[in-house]
Amino acid sequence: MIFRSNLLRKLIVGLLSSSLLLGAQVSFAQNTTNKQTKQSTQQAVKKKVAPKKQKQVRTSTTRAKSKKVQGERRPSFAAAMGLRGNRDDLNLKSSVALIVDRQTHEVLFEKNAHAALPIASITKLMTSLVVLEAQQPLDETIVIEQADVNAYPGRTRSRVLKGAKMTREQALILALMSSENRAAYALGRNYPGGIPAFIDAMNAKAQLLGMTQSKFADPTGLSSENVSSPEDLTRLVEATYQHKVIREFSTRPDYNIMIGKRLQKFVNTNRLVRTSDMDIGLQKTGYISAAGRCLVMQAKVVGRDVVMVFLDSVGTQSRFADAVRVRKWLEENPSLDALRKL
């Protein structure tokens, strides 16, 4: 009996020990599982937070792109007036065009020729005309100042930095050939009486030339308030053509100049000049969003001296393609009848 009692006691103790050990293992397993579950939950929370941050970044980027696209789609004045897209016999991409015989003043081709529109950097022809007729020394040194840099902040890039020194002649070359805005503004600022007097002189000269549909508000053309009509621009081309300096400077293919301590190469904005595709005696390009792509020039085609005006051309190269198209048309039709006379 004693033996059986001891044996029974040992069995009970063994069972209790096994139960305690099993309970401890279960408890350990539960604690481990709870810890892993807690870590998984924290990781899941972190994973949920991360996508939210990424989503905010993407949304911000999308809004910025949207604003840029809206700015690029802002219509030109010609487009707003319903002039863009009108077809013509030559299928030009320019909304406005006028081709005139410079010797006889006969109109050979026209398209919306009476419209007065922003002319962008074609303005610089008038700028150069006022500078030359003021008889200011071309060898006089002018300095690019902060006022020239700040004239239209953010509107244009330039390698002509504050403090750059150049002669008046060099500033004219850069303004006419490479359409350099800071050089053009500095020319106006160095006029007797400064920018206000210079703008007055521009408008006075326009009236003297009979440019009744023209108005000038700054010497660069970056202002959309600089407006003119194709007919008025033919008068401006004729007036500037009388100056050899303007003819030569506007038709240089390129020009090297020291800006600070670096030699900088500037090229003509007119690819027809750079490639010598046409016999061009004077030219000027222009572009701001309000004006579209613009071009005026004097050229000789099959012995005929013509003035070409193209305003609000769609596409970066289309104004030059329009000029080539007109040249071919003149070559194929050497005896055109005039539409009218200016």
Catalytic residues: 121, 124, 179
Nearest-angstrom CA–CA distance, 68 and 64: 6
In three-state secondary structure terms, 65 is helix
Nearest-angstrom CA–CA distance, 229 and 33: 84
What does R_g of the chain's alpha carbons equal in angstroms? 37
If residue 30 lies in a helix (H) or strand (E), which one and from where to where? helix 2-72
Nearest-angstrom CA–CA distance, 132 and 251: 17
- CB-side neighbour CA atoms (13 Å) of 195: 13
Contact between 296 and 122 under an 8 Å Cβ cutoff? The reply is: yes
Nearest-angstrom CA–CA distance, 231 and 210: 10
Contact between 299 and 279 under an 8 Å Cβ cutoff? The reply is: yes
CB-count exposure of residue 180 (10 Å: 0-12, 13-18, 19+): buried
Buried b (16+ CB within 10 A) or exposed e, 219-241: bbbbbbebbbbbbbbbbbbbbbb
In three-state secondary structure terms, 7 is helix
Nearest-angstrom CA–CA distance, 278 and 299: 7
CA 76 to chain CA centroid, Å, is 13
The residue count for the chain: 342
The tokens for 123 are 């303005």
Kindly give the interhelix angle for 123-133 and 181-189, rounded to the nearest 10 degrees.
Answer: 40
